[in-house]
Structure 1
Amino acid sequence: MERVVLGYDGSPASEAALEWVAHRARGRRTELDIVLVTNMFLSDRTVAGTVLEAAARRWRDLAPDSPANVVRLDGTMPATLTNAARGAGLLVLGIQAGSRVRTVLGGWMPLRAALQSGAPTAVIPAGWAAGDDPVAVGLDDDDSSMAAVDFAAAEAFSAGAPLRVIHSWLMGGSQVQGTTALLPSPQRVAREHARILDATVERVRSEFPHLDVRRELVRDNPTSALTRAAARSRMVVIGSHGRGVISGSLLGSVGLDLVGVLERPVCIVPRRRPLTREEGLPARS
């Protein structure tokens, strides 16, 4: 059974996040932890109890077949919530559209949460409504988005929706040989990026033979490509390099540009870390 942690505070954005989780839970075995982080004042605790009771009732109405635990934790944001989400299959947050990377949960940055918790983190805008559009995933040049692609494929398969794998590219700078500057051919660069996209699409199709996988090669920057795709997607999935909030082409600047701006859910999937020898990596002979 998948464990999902929902950061909740009773706001419209967190209500939208709860509804999104309930919609996603249809046809899945999901156990939900509804977590509200409070300070240590008694008045805050009293209000928290009322908020969590309302959330539990709403969840029972939306997903009566899926169990939910309501949890109030004293602490500070975001550390308390991200610690609660460690080991979970998914962390879900609500966000007020137009608030950029500052969520309703105490001004917390969800990009940092994705790295701190180690779990995929879905950020749901207030006003979210269910739709039947494809799941879109951004594919980077390196392997940093492989976990994001796998997550997006599984989400699309479970939802019975198509998957759109989007890879964007721009011309690089000239290369210098001796005293001569050589400009790369646009056709050659496009072919190289097409190979990256085709290899990923073929891998996904081999793992999900019944999934409708669509490829999109776009000559543009990642932010613009994914922003345009979002208007016809039920979710946009991006990867994380795991080197920090600002680093990397798909978690850093692109993530900052998308989260809180798009009116579609955005899911940030941390890059897989290599296995250590203690965790089962075979020793070299």
Structure 2
Amino acid sequence: MERVVLGHDGSPAAEAALEWAAERARSRRTEIEVVLVTNMFLSDRQEADRILDGAARRWHALVPDAPADVTRLDGLMPAALTDAARGADLLVLGVHPGFRTRTMLTGWVPLRVAARSRIPTALVPTGWSATDDPVTVGVDDDDSSSAALLFAAAAASARRVPLRVVHSWLMRTSGSRGTAEPGRSPRDVAAAHERVLEAAVARVRELHPDVAVVTELVRDNPTSALTRVADRSSDVVIGTHGRGVVAGAFLGSIGLDLIGTLHRPICVVPHTRPPV
């Protein structure tokens, strides 16, 4: 049984996250814990309990057979939520598309949670709706996306939708840093990256032979490549090096570029996650 922790604050984004988790629960046995983090000095506990009760009733209306617990925690975000999710299989919370234009206090919370979490974290935007489009996963040419690949393949298998595996590459130019080696032709570099895709597909077919796999090799940066296919995806899955929000900003983290801009759910899977 999959154990899911859902961060909930009664907002429209939180409701979207609950509906996404309920849709996922229809294709697998799930138990959910709905967590509301409050400030012990400033919170209205009666209002918090009202929000949690409403979330529990909504969950049972959507998936009556899936058990649900509710928890109100006094603490600070994101530590309280990520600590509560230790040992869970998935952490879910909502996000407002375009939140970067909002205050730094509220806007950075989803990024901070995703950066801190040591389990897969789904960030679900308001306006989300279920589709039968493929699950899309971006794969890198190192091992940082291996856990993300398996997570995405398992999701596609459970929902009986295709898996789209996207890999992007750019030629190294003079003085730039990249994966291509000096002196190699574009054809040789493209062939090397084609082998990255072939290895990813072979891994999926080994563990999930029932999943239909489509691939896209794109000569572009990863953010642009994933953005272009996002609207044709049910979910977008990415890996992370787990370097945190501040470090990621300097390293050009794909997650920093995508979270809060796409209108499809994004699942961030740490590369330290053991295969399942």
Q: Cα distance, 1:15 vs. partner?
A: 0.4
Q: Is the contact made by 2:119 and 2:273 (CA closer than 8 Å) also made in structure 1?
A: no
Q: Cα distance, 1:22 vs. partner?
A: 0.5
Gap runs ≥5 in structure 2: 176-181
Q: Which amino acid aligns with 1:148?
A: A
Q: Which amino acid aligns with 1:65?
A: D
Q: Which amino acid aligns with 2:83?
A: N
Corresponding position of 1:264 = 264
Q: Is the contact made by 1:171 and 1:189 (CA closer than 8 Å) also made in structure 2?
A: yes
**Aligned to 1:127, what secondary structure does the other structure show?**
coil
CA distance in structure 1 between the aligned counterparts of 2:271 and 2:101, rounded to whole angstroms:
20
Same amino acid, percent of matched pairs: 65
Task: Quickly say closer, same or farther: Cα 1:113–1:252, change in 2 above 3 A.
Answer: farther
Q: Cα distance, 1:246 vs. partner?
A: 5.0
CA distance in structure 1 between the aligned counterparts of 2:196 and 2:66, rounded to whole angstroms:
39
Any residues of structure 2 matched to 1:218-257 within 5 Å, and which?
A: 218-245=218-245, 247=247, 252-257=252-257
Corresponding position of 2:170 = 170
Corresponding position of 1:29 = 29
CA distance in structure 2 between the aligned counterparts of 1:231 and 1:33, rounded to whole angstroms:
30
Normalised by the size of structure 1, how large is the TM-score? 0.88
Task: Quickly say closer, same or farther: Cα 1:200–1:38, change in 2 above 3 A.
Answer: same
Corresponding position of 2:116 = 116
CA distance in structure 1 between the aligned counterparts of 2:233 and 2:160, rounded to whole angstroms:
13
Task: Quickly say closer, same or farther: Cα 1:42–1:259, change in 2 above 3 A.
Answer: closer
What CA deviation, in whole Å up to 9, does each residue of 1:173-209 have, x standing for no partner? Answer: 349xxxxxx6431111100100111111111111111
Q: Is the contact made by 1:32 and 1:68 (CA closer than 8 Å) also made in structure 2?
A: yes
Q: Is the contact made by 1:94 and 1:104 (CA closer than 8 Å) also made in structure 2?
A: no
**Aligned to 1:166, what secondary structure does the other structure show?**
strand
Q: Is the contact made by 1:3 and 1:89 (CA closer than 8 Å) also made in structure 2?
A: yes
What CA deviation, in whole Å up to 9, does each residue of 1:121-157 have, x standing for no partner? Answer: 0000001111110000000110000000000000000
Task: Quickly say closer, same or farther: Cα 1:93–1:43, change in 2 above 3 A.
Answer: closer
Q: Is the contact made by 2:99 and 2:107 (CA closer than 8 Å) also made in structure 1?
A: no
1:216 paired with 2:248, answer: no
Corresponding position of 2:149 = 149
Task: Quickly say closer, same or farther: Cα 1:103–1:259, change in 2 above 3 A.
Answer: farther
Moved over 6 A (4+): 101-105
Q: Is the contact made by 1:97 and 1:262 (CA closer than 8 Å) also made in structure 2?
A: yes
**Aligned to 1:202, what secondary structure does the other structure show?**
helix
Corresponding position of 1:74 = 74
Q: Is the contact made by 2:5 and 2:88 (CA closer than 8 Å) also made in structure 1?
A: yes
What CA deviation, in whole Å up to 9, does each residue of 1:89-135 have, x standing for no partner? Answer: 00001011111497999444333323423110000000111111000
Corresponding position of 1:204 = 204
Gap runs ≥5 in structure 1: 176-181, 275-285
Q: Cα distance, 1:214 vs. partner?
A: 1.0
Q: Cα distance, 1:272 vs. partner?
A: 1.8
Q: Cα distance, 1:87 vs. partner?
A: 1.0
CA distance in structure 2 between the aligned counterparts of 1:255 and 1:103, rounded to whole angstroms:
19
Q: Is the contact made by 1:95 and 1:102 (CA closer than 8 Å) also made in structure 2?
A: no
Task: Quickly say closer, same or farther: Cα 1:273–1:123, change in 2 above 3 A.
Answer: closer
Q: Cα distance, 1:243 vs. partner?
A: 2.5
Q: Is the contact made by 1:174 and 1:184 (CA closer than 8 Å) also made in structure 2?
A: no
Task: Quickly say closer, same or farther: Cα 1:60–1:27, change in 2 above 3 A.
Answer: same
Residues 138-147 or 264-273, more deviating? 264-273
**Aligned to 2:173, what secondary structure does the other structure show?**
coil
Q: Which has the larger radius of gyration?
A: 1
Task: Quickly say closer, same or farther: Cα 1:140–1:42, change in 2 above 3 A.
Answer: closer
Q: Which amino acid aligns with 1:112?
A: R
Corresponding position of 1:99 = 99
Corresponding position of 1:282 = none
Q: Cα distance, 1:45 vs. partner?
A: 0.6
**Aligned to 1:267, what secondary structure does the other structure show?**
strand
Q: Is the contact made by 2:148 and 2:237 (CA closer than 8 Å) also made in structure 1?
A: yes
CA distance in structure 2 between the aligned counterparts of 1:201 and 1:110, rounded to whole angstroms:
31
Corresponding position of 1:194 = 194
